[in-house]
Structure 1
């Protein structure tokens, strides 16, 4: 026992068990780990069940100091904090996390929708702020956006021949044909893609994907493999893309790894034609640039009038056809899309399809916030949303949080 933590190692392919104050937490080492710091048992369990159903590996801490203990023991991809905790408030805990050097995205949950509180949370280092009660679709969409934001820069795609998987939006395609997978089918396929030619037994897949104290039988794995093969064949994949190694387990067929993978069928980045634009002095870029894309001049003026740091410049763009030249010229650090309910999804998808702009934060302004609209915007690649009308302090806090 050290610092109140008793670590146990069952030696089973990436599964780690942590015992804190007689509570067991099972963590899957190969999937996204999420820490929930929530003292209300029903709320915490509901969140855990929701996240588990999407193949995440959530852990629960009831107190702020328990959350810090877990963060010291494991690497988490996202932290979800309740604003009101028994030993300290969520904003103070968020400040403590940032002061200790933790950089993973942080989502704050609260029962109040006060602008000053939102601004305080964002200024403390939180990446998002969700008001209870919330719709499960919206929460998952926000979780996906935060995890995408927290990923390191670079190509997020996992590929094996013509098979491609994008973890940032959980999209799977074979030769440009998109597959519709259940959460567990997706998790099995992601496991195989992440580990190349490694062979996984049915029991190992249960340990990796289900990650619960009492997983189902091995027949469940065989059923999921069968369904995956059927869906892949319908998309045009060979029947043996997922290969059975006799008496051992399953893997992706090594002979199909080096086949030419078609590049995603997205728009071509016009900046590729101007590789020396910045070096040739085409543009003078400020320290921090925010590009606002909207056909409403009033929104641009309102954002430009905000009390923003002096090194931050707001550039307005009213003509969507000039988006690519503007991205090349200004090299923005943040993109704000004003007409989120109309061109927002299309614009987000187009920008995210280009490797050069896959990691730029995109803040979308929505006139009306519905679960379906929020899910659609986040699924398209947005990093954050705000509901109109704009409120100065919250908008400033979100802009600064994205470009800091």
Structure 2
């Protein structure tokens, strides 16, 4: 767990840092309010401890500023001001707790544990995984009653996993949680600590506690008390498969609805009566099919959708309609077969849990133009334990995919199907990263990216494109408009999550380098 301590008393901060480090916390120290603010924007903290009487920016105003800018980390005010009016002012400013100096380290430790418990879904002070038990109050770890001796970082790793049992942690995120700025090592150190922790757990019989998610990071595995019978596994797989097919049956009607415009385009082309509007509608529906079908277990369907889109875009008047008709017939035949999901696609993931496919409703807003709004303000920096990603795409199935897969990586997706609502959403949500599609109603995603980069308020926001386009010329346009990266549809969960974390890490490093050294 990582703590930010903001206090200008050097002797006190040294003593508290020594004590908190002995309790397996990683501690960063700031000696004035402005430095505390800078630290809070450069890293994610599990807890922030503030004095009230601070140089440059006092603790109450710093607390207010943090809450105003969507910082959700617990805040403990640790101060010599003990009047009731001071406590009321501090708590009203957004602090979660108020502790008066002088206090014992035991009381401070208890307050910290209580605040961290509020952040954890567990209602008990003990963190458990099957027979494995971690007691934060005593800093003890046992397995079936047998004590484990762990180093401070091994203990911190295990506590991090136990407090977040559903989340996958990349090496960079683990570094951010468990090491301060002054002593952050390389990612190879993470692998070393993971290996040693696994060895110690295995030595007492707690094997397979930590899973490696290839190319992504580490997470806590599901506790297994009894090995499953070999005769049970096939039935479980069959049930998952049946659930996956049922989910495809749920989405098959809207997919077939998108095919109607393709049928209409074939008829109209045959009679020489294809309007520009119908042609563009068919191109748009083919584009969405290309982007969605692969995620539902139809990779060939995505390929056919791309071929249909390309034909509609490039065919000249008078061209024979037979190639288009053959592609559409092949697509219908493909969709008659059961899906063949891979382990990374949406269909497999959805078979494991219930998902709400409703997207965030678009608020009313002023239409997006090629000029940024006159009322633009400076962006509101936001640092919390959860990463906010704003997704703008008019394909509800793509939005549903991201709503389902991103939260288990500690990413909160805010979805919009209407790009005209973007400015309001940016101001309201203050995201850490923006995901755009190219082809959307009202305005092109590349133009949206260009508008953002030409403005002053959000031009530093990382922008990632999800698009079915693969034309090198269009990809060049993305980067020329200011995009940071792109992922081709249909995409897999590990691919898009890795790209998100890579962009966020690079942006964090850039911000750190740009911070004044004085």
- With the shorter chain as reference, the TM-score category is 0.3 to 0.5
**Which has the larger Rg?**
2
More helix by share: 2
More strand by share: 1
